[in-house]
Structure 1
Amino acid sequence: MFGTTRQRRHMRDRNRQYTERARKASRWGHSLHPGTQIWRWLLRAAVLAGLGVLLLWSRGVALTHLDRQAANSDLPSRTLLDIHQAASALTPDNIEHWILSLSLELQADRLLVPPGGDPRPRPFEIGLGEPALYIAYRLENEGFVTDAELFNLYLRVQFLDRYLEAGNYMLSETMTIPELAEALNAPSYEEELVTLLEGMRMEEFAEVLEANYIIPAREFLDAVRDPRSMEIFDDYDFLADLPTDATLEGYLFPDTYRFPVNADRVETVVAKFLDNFDRRLGERGLTAEPALTPREIVTLASIVEREAVVAEERPLIASVYLNRLSGLCRDEVRGPFLESDPTVQYPLGNAADGWWPSITLDDYDRVQSPYNTFQNQGLPPAPISNPGLSSLDAVRSPASSVYCFFHTTGVDGAHVFAATYAEHQQNTLRYGR
């Protein structure tokens, strides 16, 4: 993007000049022959053929001059090409630009034809690092231009293809190509990069979003606690098995996002999380090698996310819980109890004391909650955090093991694993509680 007000003003002036030239070219084109378009296409073909010959000849001349300069030719200096001269220099790049400019002139009448008649603005987002041609095709797919190649050609001729900045824009179908190029010169509204970490719960998401002036925490929580109240709910197939009273805990994908500051609709914010969740799952979706429902995959992944620190351990931790659920550990554990500390922390969490408070052995029996997996068999009723892709992958493709226990070593979040309760007791004595 042009970085100064002066540069932006220069670009707008160039756009206006080109728009006027396009209008003149359009009138010239219509005056050639009132009865048919054949003459215009024949003329264009002839011009382009001649330009092709000119390009080959001029490229050879330019390269010859450059070679002679490089070889310190004895030719008079006035006959040599200065590669640092103005834009009129006979260089391959300039020749290419002249060809592109003429091609654009021949299509000038199309520049002023909007793709549609709906004047209502719609949002359009440019992601970080998106190339101009990719953006042009996305604009075509969303109905903002009718010809992505023509829009990209306009950007190249105007030297704008390198200056499209990531951000949010408000565009309409009634905008012409020059108007669209000018609109994409700067985002329509202020944005903020916000990072949401793996393992955060939805209340923590809400606090981070509010702290960055994206959306009030209460408004965000009201929406994610009652997702069916949002119009976008039915757009996501992975929410099909969501219970009627369920929240979006577990489905708010943790990542770094570019959000509009003071977003006017909470759906705009929530949709970014859900779109990313859907995209990251890929074609495999919420299917796992063990027989788990999509909801169970997300729930178990949310526990793995809170337990794991070392990335390589996630598939092993997932295997421990799956072994307990399958009955493989029935001789070592009193039943299919997951006995996960984060499931005790979750119901205790609050804004005053922290969302993941420290717990003691007494809390295993003291905390009366359906989330407490020391008291309740199987998985908790819902996810307890929002897992990242590595934890979801760990549940979808867990390690093959006979482990029924794991214990922290106290060093960099690493764990040791045990198949029997006796081995686990030894690890407890070695590494402490």
Structure 2
Amino acid sequence: MRRFLPFVVIAVVLACIIGLFAVSASAAQSYGPPASSLGPLQVIQYSAKLVWYDGLLTRPLSVGAPERSFTVQQNESVGSIVNRLAESGLIVDASAFRDYLIYTGLDTSIQAGDYKLSPAMSIVDIARAMQDATPADVTFVVLPGWRMEEIALSLPTSGLDATPEAFIAAALSTPRGFDFMAGAATAEGFLYPDVYILPRETNARQLVETLVRNFSLHLTIDLRDGFARQGLTVYQAVTLASIVAREAVREDETPTIASVYLNRLKIKIKLDADPTVQYALGFNSVQKTWWTNPLSLDDLKIDSPFNTYLYEGLPPAPVGNPDLNSLRAVAFPANTTYYFFRAKCDGSGYHVFSETLDQQIQNACP
């Protein structure tokens, strides 16, 4: 019997070695190759642990749970991060999470920053998510009075997936399901100015729909009734509000500016609105702006249906995207008998208003 003992020992050792290699192979197959920084014994050690944990690594703690914020501080230790994840109820097992990080080498590349994590994510998902602290959401700002091209130009630095070209293409059509866009050929005028928190993967079509949907939320019955009292459809009111938004510098003056244009519409005289000419001119490559200023006499003669110095009534479409203040100014204008206004000469941003052309001329800056 003793003659066979060495062979038995050798067989047992070989079986153990084969078993250890099998464990390592199983871990590698399930969770990828081990970190290059691990020694042979460490590879076997952590491979065995991962195989032991098995389902814990890929099973979420709570399916369907909502996301919550989790912040990794600068220079925070892996141990501290793991413990806080467990205390926050985000991971099912702290030891399993720590061992997975070490096995994969992800423990050395966790980034400081803010994350959106959920108990519905597995240990593997959370570990991978914490390799990129780029926020899942971005802040996107649309300023009052911007035309669609200006919104498009802000996209490359926004962090959104939408490109300027794709946005323009999407905005040149109209989203379905919005009755107030009847008569509109594009989304111009309905791309509501606001501060938006959007998923980074938002595409151009989704962005246009989001802006228009926000407009719909602000288009109250009160506003609709106000437009109707001025004898305007929603589309006409938005068109006028887009002019008002470009003219008004001071918010408290907006209803008075709106009253001037409404008074001119009622007696059927041309609006003579600078923003309509600026819109018709398009991008000024010298001034590097979409809003040429000042306008020359030749500019005022541009033959475009948008030029309200040449053509009576409203332009055929909005010349920008008005904010709520401008929309309300059109719905609820000041009660005035003004037909003219021009900028004050003091640089304050305010205007001086007139009832007659003679008064308007007298109010010119010296």
- Common fold: TM-score over 0.5: yes
SS in 1 for 2:362: helix
User: How do 1:32-111 and structure 2 match up within 5 A?
Assistant: none
Partners of 1:238 and 1:286 within 8 A in 2: no
* 1:249 aligned partner, one-letter code: E
Partner of 2:304: 369
SS in 1 for 2:353: strand
CA–CA distance in structure 2, aligned partners of residues 369 and 16 of structure 1: 61
SS in 2 for 1:259: strand
Partner of 2:208: 270
CA-CA distance at 1:422 after TM superposition: 1.7
SS in 1 for 2:198: strand
SS in 2 for 1:211: coil
CA-CA distance at 1:213 after TM superposition: 3.5
Partner of 1:319: 259
1:221 matched to 2:168: yes
Given candidates 402, 417, 432, the residue that maps to 2:353 is: 417
Partner of 1:242: 183
Relative distance call for 1:16 and 1:362 in structure 2 (3 A) is closer
Partner of 1:212: 158
Unaligned runs of 5+ in 1: 20-164, 170-176, 228-232, 328-334
CA-CA distance at 1:315 after TM superposition: 0.5
CA–CA distance in structure 2, aligned partners of residues 17 and 346 of structure 1: 55
Q: CA RMSD in A?
A: 3.0
User: How do 1:3-402 and structure 2 match up within 5 A?
Assistant: 3-4=71-72, 6=78, 9-14=82-87, 15=89, 178-179=119-120, 190-214=136-160, 215-227=162-174, 233-239=175-181, 241-243=182-184, 246-261=185-200, 263=201, 265-287=203-225, 288=227, 289-327=229-267, 335-350=268-283, 352-353=285-286, 354-358=289-293, 359-365=295-301, 367-402=302-337
CA–CA distance in structure 2, aligned partners of residues 16 and 194 of structure 1: 29
Relative distance call for 1:293 and 1:189 in structure 2 (3 A) is same
SS in 1 for 2:230: coil
CA–CA distance in structure 2, aligned partners of residues 317 and 339 of structure 1: 13
Bigger Rg, structure 1 or 2 = 2
* 2:194 aligned partner, one-letter code: D
SS in 1 for 2:341: strand
* 1:336 aligned partner, one-letter code: I
CA–CA distance in structure 2, aligned partners of residues 188 and 166 of structure 1: 8
Paired residues in the alignment total 261
1:72-116: per-residue Cα shift (whole Å, max 9, x none)? xxxxxxxxxxxxxxxxxxxxxxxxxxxxxxxxxxxxxxxxxxxxx
List structure 1 segments (4+ residues) > 4 angstroms apart after TM superposition.
5-8, 16-19, 180-189
SS in 2 for 1:179: coil
CA-CA distance at 1:268 after TM superposition: 2.4
SS in 1 for 2:138: strand
Relative distance call for 1:270 and 1:427 in structure 2 (3 A) is same
1:21-50: per-residue Cα shift (whole Å, max 9, x none)? xxxxxxxxxxxxxxxxxxxxxxxxxxxxxx
Partners of 2:242 and 2:320 within 8 A in 1: yes
CA–CA distance in structure 2, aligned partners of residues 221 and 397 of structure 1: 32
1:109-165: per-residue Cα shift (whole Å, max 9, x none)? xxxxxxxxxxxxxxxxxxxxxxxxxxxxxxxxxxxxxxxxxxxxxxxxxxxxxxxx8
Relative distance call for 1:208 and 1:420 in structure 2 (3 A) is same
CA-CA distance at 1:338 after TM superposition: 0.2
Partners of 1:199 and 1:306 within 8 A in 2: yes
CA-CA distance at 1:181 after TM superposition: 11
CA–CA distance in structure 1, aligned partners of residues 197 and 257 of structure 2: 33
Partners of 1:309 and 1:414 within 8 A in 2: yes
Relative distance call for 1:254 and 1:336 in structure 2 (3 A) is same
* 1:236 aligned partner, one-letter code: F
CA-CA distance at 1:11 after TM superposition: 4.9
Relative distance call for 1:374 and 1:280 in structure 2 (3 A) is same
1:326-367: per-residue Cα shift (whole Å, max 9, x none)? 11xxxxxxx5200011111111122634211121123222x0
1:285-333: per-residue Cα shift (whole Å, max 9, x none)? 4342311000001000000011110111110111110011111xxxxxx
Relative distance call for 1:222 and 1:321 in structure 2 (3 A) is same
TM-score of the two chains, using structure 1 as the length reference? 0.55
CA–CA distance in structure 2, aligned partners of residues 321 and 351 of structure 1: 26
* 1:179 aligned partner, one-letter code: A
CA–CA distance in structure 1, aligned partners of residues 119 and 318 of structure 2: 49
Unaligned runs of 5+ in 2: 1-68, 94-113
CA–CA distance in structure 2, aligned partners of residues 209 and 17 of structure 1: 36
CA–CA distance in structure 2, aligned partners of residues 390 and 301 of structure 1: 9
